[in-house]
Chains A and B, each alone.
Chain A
Amino acid sequence: MGFSYTVAAVIMLSSTLIFFGIVYTSYVQSNENIANANQKLVKNIYDLENTRVSVFDYYYNSSSSYFVINLTNNGSQVFNMSLANVLVNGSLVKFNVSGQFLFPLQTVSITFKEPAGTYTVEIVMPDGYEIFKKVVS
């Protein structure tokens, strides 16, 4: 009788310990997942707050009907320009960019084809930062 109870107690205690270990590990992993996600969110907000991109100048090449807009990065972020977007008069357009990455203090040229005229251009950076510019050919 006493031996049976001892065995039962040992089994219950050891299994409880094992299960507690499993639950604790899972809790730590879950916490870590959420902490990592929070860290990414904070970084995204920080990146957006530190985005300083502006239109340096622009010109219109009448022979090829291309607008060329030069963008300068005065912030501390690096942008992958293949993830940027350009809207002309509110519509997404295809564009070419002189370099894939825009590093701090560097300038890239964005080129898109439109007939001569006046357009509202919106450049959307990969983090969602928007730059508006009215361009005249």
Chain B
Amino acid sequence: MASTAVSELVFFIVTLLITASAVAVLSDQTFHLVDGMKTSSQKTSDMIQQNFAIINDPTQIPYNGGYVFYIKNTGSVAFAFTNTSVSVLIDGNIVTGHYLTFETQNNTGVLYPGQVGEIIVNETLTGYNSITVSLSSGVSHQLEFEV
């Protein structure tokens, strides 16, 4: 009789332990899923709200240590404006390193809605060209211009 009670107790504890581990695994997976959903929706929402315009006069690109391109944040959220977060292509060729300088107000490296930042491309250009600017979120705009 006593041994039956003990074995019942052991079964009960073992069942509880197994259930607790199953719940722990389930809980971990749930929080992973929730975290993934939050991050993904935040990224998608940022991407949808990010927008910019290249506001240069295409026939008069200013030159100040390189050709200066003005980028205006016309979206609803700020975005990083540095050479690691923004890609620049001139006539389809990517421009990197010391050929490219990014300038923002107060040198924050972030372009807030309504602000204008500068991309200075230190390359030799003649005639008709095109510049493509792409943000890390994939938002991209192109401008055909003449120098």
Number of interface residues of A (CB under 8 A): 42
User: SS class of chain B's interface: helix, strand, loop or mixed?
Assistant: helix
Task: Given A12-B22, A15-B23, A36-B45, answer yes or no on A128-B11 (Cβ-Cβ < 8 Å).
Answer: no
A126 interface hit (Cβ, 8 Å): yes
Task: Given A34-B44, A92-B116, answer yes or no on A26-B37 (Cβ-Cβ < 8 Å).
Answer: yes
**How many angstroms from the CA of A37 to the CA of B51 in the assembled complex?**
12
A4 touching B15, Cβ below 8 Å: yes
Task: Given A7-B12, A41-B49, answer yes or no on A12-B37 (Cβ-Cβ < 8 Å).
Answer: no
Cβ–Cβ < 8 Å partners of A117 in chain B = none
B26 touching A90, Cβ below 8 Å: no
Cβ–Cβ < 8 Å partners of A23 in chain B = 30, 33-34, 37
Contact of B60 among A11, A26, A120, A128 (CB under 8 A): A120
CB distance from B118 to the nearest CB of A (A): 8
CB distance from A77 to the nearest CB of B (A): 13
**How many angstroms from the CA of A16 to the CA of B19 in the assembled complex?**
12
B42 interface hit (Cβ, 8 Å): yes
Cβ–Cβ < 8 Å partners of A36 in chain B = 45
Task: Given A26-B37, A120-B57, A127-B74, answer yes or no on A33-B42 (Cβ-Cβ < 8 Å).
Answer: yes
Cβ–Cβ < 8 Å partners of A11 in chain B = 16, 19-20, 23
Task: Given A22-B30, A23-B30, A120-B60, answer yes or no on A130-B55 (Cβ-Cβ < 8 Å).
Answer: yes
Cβ–Cβ < 8 Å partners of B122 in chain A = none
**16 A-B pairs (CB sep. < 8 Å):** A1-B8, A7-B12, A26-B38, A29-B38, A37-B44, A37-B45, A37-B49, A40-B76, A41-B49, A44-B76, A85-B116, A87-B57, A89-B57, A92-B116, A120-B60, A124-B53
